[in-house]
Amino acid sequence: MNTGKFIISLDFELMWGVRDKRTIANYGDAIIGARTVLETMLQLFENHNIRATFATVGFLFHKTKRDLIENLPDLKPSYSNSNLSPYTDLDTFLGYKNDNYYFAHSLIEKIKLKNTHEIATHTYCHYYCLEPGQTVEQFEIDLNFAIKVAKDNSIQLKTIVFPRNQYNQDYLEICRKNGITSYRGSEYSPIYKSSNREGQTLFIRALRLLDTYINITGHNCYRFDKVNESTLHNIPSSRFLRPYSKKFRFFEQFKFLRIKNAMTYAAKKGLVYHLWWHPHNFGRNTIKNIYLLEKILNHYDFLNAKYKFESLTMNELSGKI
């Protein structure tokens, strides 16, 4: 394992991850756009021999609202802020006629058909582990429902990506106990430390935005033995692939160079580089976002040929270790 490894993970959540009562009007087009762009991504991944991890919200496995309603846990997350829970106003959220905002069984089947990607869990209901009010017991029930709905679709879950990267040791132990072997941790820099919404201050978010274009936290690559330090393998993220923004369009090249330089560093040094994003991030400005992704994958091809930089799913990396 002296060659570098390229990890891509996607948080596949559709409306459940960006949900509130105003979201349909403000963001519904991006959610619908994600369905088409995901198929484009699958084709790009095939063209470039990429093996990706799709961390999928359990709700997405269902085909209809009725199917979901018939498969809800009795014990649900009791967030202090009830607006965080999809269960609070489930009838309202599912009152929109377009099931494409919420369910993606057909897309999950297309991912499975490729037979190269990993389908991981993003919890059953997009569960926030560090928000006040919820409990570890509620999380375990949520995870069990995610495992069951995946199993009903002939998928064995081995990897978890925590929504908003919220986790601590108690939740990791629950995952280990239930057969999960790896998770996506946060970058090692303090500005990416796992926290609830109150910890995501304006200052922290500003630093993360700046780090997208300027190297202020390093390449965020890491050695294989670093992953092996924990029983439940921590495969930290290296970079969030921010979507195109008209406001920051003049800095797009800096964003690409930030990623390109880190990938090159990982390939030369035999390290892991882990890139992630949400499919719905590409639901708007699709052409520009796909253009950037193609540039990144073309650079991967170069590194693969020159340094044997290898694309793996998170579970494959965990298995090799």
* pLDDT for the residue 40: 96
- Spatial CB neighbours of 16, under 8 Å, sequence gap ≥ 6: 57, 59, 60, 86, 102, 125, 126
Residue 200 region by backbone torsions, left for phi larger than 0, else alpha for psi between -120 and 50, else beta: beta
For the record, the structure tokens of 2 come out as: 């002296």
| Span 253-284, pLDDT tens digits | 999 999 999 999 999 999 999 999 999 999 99
- 47's tokens: 């063209």
pLDDT over 70, % of the chain: 95
Q: pLDDT at position 97, please?
A: 63
Q: What is the pLDDT of residues 293-317, one digit of tens each?
A: 999 999 999 999 999 999 999 999 9
Instruction: Tell me, rounded to whole angstroms, the distance of Cα 230 from its chain centroid.
Output: 21
Give the Cα separation of 123 and 197 in Å (integer): 18
Structure token digits, residue 283 = 């639901």
Task: Considering only residues 303 and 205, tell me which one the structure prediction assigns the higher pLDDT.
Answer: 303
Task: Report the predicted TM-score, pTM, of the whole model to 2 decimal places.
Answer: 0.94
Both tokens of 5, joined, read 């490894």
How does pLDDT run across 114-124, given as a tens digit for each residue?
889 999 999 99
Taking 80 as the threshold, does the pLDDT of residue 11 lie above it? yes
What integer pLDDT is reported at residue 19 of this predicted model? 61
**What are residue 159's phi and psi, to 5 degrees?**
-130, 145
Contact partners, residue 139, CB within 8 Å, separation at least 6: 77, 123, 127, 129, 171, 174
* Structure tokens, 220: 């965020």
The pLDDT value given to residue 17: 84
Q: What is the pLDDT, as a whole number, of residue 199?
A: 67
At 290, list the tokens: 């796909």
Q: What's the token pair of residue 128?
A: 């926030």
Mean pLDDT computed over every residue of the chain: 92
In this prediction, residue 103 carries a pLDDT of 93
Contacts of 281 (CB under 8 A, 6+ apart): 30, 241, 242, 243, 289
- Around Cβ 38, how many Cβ atoms within 10 Å? 22
